[in-house]
Structure 1
Amino acid sequence: MTINWKGVYPAVTTKFTENDTLDLALFKKNIDAQLEAGVDGIILGGTLGEASTLTEEEKSTLVRTTVAHVAGKVPVIINIAEQTTKGAIAAAAKAKEDGASGLMLLPPMRYAATDYETVAYFAEIAKSTDLPIMIYNNPVDYKTLVTLDMFEELTQYENIQAVKESTRDLSNVTRMKNRFGDRFQILSGVDTLALESLAMGADGWVAGLVCAFPRETVTIFQLAKAGRMEEALAIYRWFLPLLELDINAQLVQNIKLAEVAVGLGSETVRAPRLPLIGTERKRVLKVIEDSLASRPALPEVEVYQ
């Protein structure tokens, strides 16, 4: 499957049962809500989420289950975050075997690779597979900045096609567009900068709170691309307190609480994560409850392709 790398790509949460096994029935219920809202792809194994707690067998199960469930309606992307080039190449091969449509690729984990080493890492993985690749550029959380000069070196690999832009520097969208035109599709990776990034020319949105609010997320994107920015902004301003739950160390717990509130998930997380307690739990629940009480009606909008 070719990937358009445009639109809304949910970084979906992993659902667990009370017995700490994958809750595939609940997982598929959430996927159905995403598809019904009109998302453009599904991303599995978000590194700031619970991917690091999953076994290789569980990752494979999630990919295979999602691929079978979406039945070709949208691409299924799996995240790769490995410590070695060898491990990343093996993960890419397994992703293809399991039916994934593409990869979201981070720089090497733990080791602080140089620019030269990071480019070589990306290049070796790209050469090992024909799956489309989106580079995840998040120096805030992972301490490695993929610079424009590094992207210049990666232009020779045709299957490196997109970037999840999480530098928190809005002007980086413009810098990428000025230097590379449409060579790389740019997807905003920070919920609280999504509309701003779309206004700067970003092609899509890798979203977090979409897990609980898929229709609102898709509507904001479609309105922005239709040039109906005032309408998009009105919904976005309502959404912002919820979106801020994604830029938090407990983002998984926060998003799962929101999923519970709308009937699209459970609060169950995998240890060492634990459900929120005390004052913080009350704070997050109030944000969710206040937002649901003022949830806006959504306008009709033509689908942007």
Structure 2
Amino acid sequence: MFSGTLTALITPFRNGEVDVEALEGLVEFQIQQGVSGLVPCGTTGETPCLSEEEDRLVVETVVRVAGGRVPVIAGTGSNSTDMAIRYTRMAEEAGADGSLQVAPYYNKPTQEGLYRHFATIAENTSLPIILYNIPSRTGVTISAETTARLAEIPNIVGTKEATHSMDLASDLRRLCGEEFCILSGDDSLTLPIMALGGRGVISVASNVAPAAVSQLTQALLEGDYERGRELHYELLPLFRALFIETNPIPVKTAASLLGLCSDEMRLPMQPMRGENLRRLQEVMEEKGHLLPTPEEV
């Protein structure tokens, strides 16, 4: 259902408010650069610091500007099942094409608790749901066995995998069947996950290098692994530089350097300074051929 490069959109701010004009520009830029989909209000979008009203504004803006040209999968997860349902219904009303549901953070539910959480959300929406497995942020891993149980629910259609475990990715493909959509949750793991049967990536790097990341996933979807490896190694220094500090600090800083939006963030996030900023600038200069030209921004 979903494949290719889906951008985990940053949320631009100006003077403490969501910068709607800049967000509109980001959406248009992404689509013109060839991405396959957009994922607003995820971790990269600083959603923990967005109010419910701002969350709605962001999703509605992205849906409106995308205009059906690419699917919009809204991040609507929560560590509260009731709140996840509320946000998912909001996204459905706003016209989103899917929902990204992170594993409940801080609570650390059991596998049965995870199953019931996601199953209950699925019962309360008609949107296709992509699970989000990122134990480094949530403190809990959705097992392959639990995912396989969830895959039997018709509108749970895939998972975003950010566990760094190729064994788990292999078990997902083995247990969940060919129709279940596995997406990489880390840019640097897109190649190995797609080699194991994944269909693309929910990408941080495509905020600033959408065309190049799209070329990578397209090559891999077409089975051109020689070209895929070439692009992977070409992009790898940029992938790593964009995680030199906690996401989304580097990618939002990079977007600012390209003139896509300001580098304004909400506490506890702060724009990069010092040696890490210099390193990011060096990598962006070195990999400038992978980045958009000023005319494209």
Measured against the shorter chain, the TM-score band is over 0.9
Q: Superposed, which structure 2 residues align to 1:71-82 within 5 Å?
A: 71-82=67-78
- Quote the Cα distance in structure 1 between the aligned partners of 2:172 and 2:112: 20
Q: Does 1:250 align with 2:246?
A: yes
Which of residues 186, 194, 217 is equivalent to 2:213? 217
Amino acid in the other structure paired with 2:227 = E
Which of residues 28, 53, 56 is equivalent to 2:52? 56
Amino acid in the other structure paired with 1:12 = L
Q: Does 1:187 align with 2:183?
A: yes
Q: Does 1:16 align with 2:47?
A: no
What TM-score comes out, normalization by structure 2 length?
Answer: 0.92
What TM-score comes out, normalization by structure 1 length?
Answer: 0.90
Amino acid in the other structure paired with 2:184 = S
Amino acid in the other structure paired with 1:62 = V
Which of residues 261, 266, 281 is equivalent to 1:270? 266
Secondary structure at the counterpart of residue 8 of structure 1: strand
Unpaired runs of 5+ in structure 2?
293-297
Unpaired runs of 5+ in structure 1?
298-305
Task: State whether residues 67 and 76 of structure 1, in contact with CA within 8 Å, keep that contact through their aligned partners in structure 2.
Answer: yes
Task: State whether residues 47 and 81 of structure 1, in contact with CA within 8 Å, keep that contact through their aligned partners in structure 2.
Answer: no
**Residue equivalent to 1:302:** none
Amino acid in the other structure paired with 1:13 = I
- Quote the Cα distance in structure 2 between the aligned partners of 1:295 and 1:185: 27
Q: Residues 76, 295 of structure 1: CA spacing in aligned structure 2 closer, same or farther, 3 A cutoff?
A: closer
- Quote the Cα distance in structure 1 between the aligned partners of 2:205 and 2:165: 21
Amino acid in the other structure paired with 1:9 = L
Q: Deviations over 1:183-237 (max 9, x none)?
A: 4110011111111211222111110010000000001111122232222222221
Amino acid in the other structure paired with 2:114 = T
Cα shift at 1:103: 0.5
Q: Residues 202, 164 of structure 1: CA spacing in aligned structure 2 closer, same or farther, 3 A cutoff?
A: same
**Residue equivalent to 1:140:** 136
Task: State whether residues 105 and 139 of structure 2, in contact with CA within 8 Å, keep that contact through their aligned partners in structure 1.
Answer: no
**Residue equivalent to 2:153:** 157
Which of residues 180, 195, 200 is equivalent to 2:196? 200
Q: Superposed, which structure 2 residues align to 1:17-32 within 5 Å?
A: 17=14, 19-32=15-28
Amino acid in the other structure paired with 2:2 = W
Amino acid in the other structure paired with 1:255 = V
Q: Does 1:118 align with 2:125?
A: no
Which of residues 41, 44, 52 is equivalent to 2:40? 44
**Residue equivalent to 1:300:** none
Amino acid in the other structure paired with 2:107 = Y
Task: State whether residues 209 and 291 of structure 2, in contact with CA within 8 Å, keep that contact through their aligned partners in structure 1.
Answer: no
Q: Deviations over 1:136-188 (max 9, x none)?
A: 01122212111122123213310000100111012322221222222411001
Secondary structure at the counterpart of residue 279 of structure 1: helix
- Quote the Cα distance in structure 2 between the aligned partners of 1:26 and 1:155: 37
- Quote the Cα distance in structure 1 between the aligned partners of 2:149 and 2:217: 31
- Quote the Cα distance in structure 2 between the aligned partners of 1:29 and 1:236: 27
Task: State whether residues 106 and 135 of structure 1, in contact with CA within 8 Å, keep that contact through their aligned partners in structure 2.
Answer: yes
Q: Does 1:172 align with 2:165?
A: no
For this pair of structures, how many residues does the alignment match? 292
Amino acid in the other structure paired with 2:5 = V
- Quote the Cα distance in structure 2 between the aligned partners of 1:236 and 1:205: 13
Cα shift at 1:15: 0.5
**Residue equivalent to 1:98:** 94
Q: Does 1:34 align with 2:21?
A: no
- Quote the Cα distance in structure 2 between the aligned partners of 1:94 and 1:277: 37
Amino acid in the other structure paired with 1:81 = G
**Residue equivalent to 1:67:** 63
- Quote the Cα distance in structure 2 between the aligned partners of 1:65 and 1:75: 13
- Quote the Cα distance in structure 2 between the aligned partners of 1:156 and 1:291: 43
Secondary structure at the counterpart of residue 145 of structure 1: coil
Q: Percent identity?
A: 29
Cα shift at 1:29: 1.4
Alpha carbon RMSD of aligned pairs, Å? 1.8
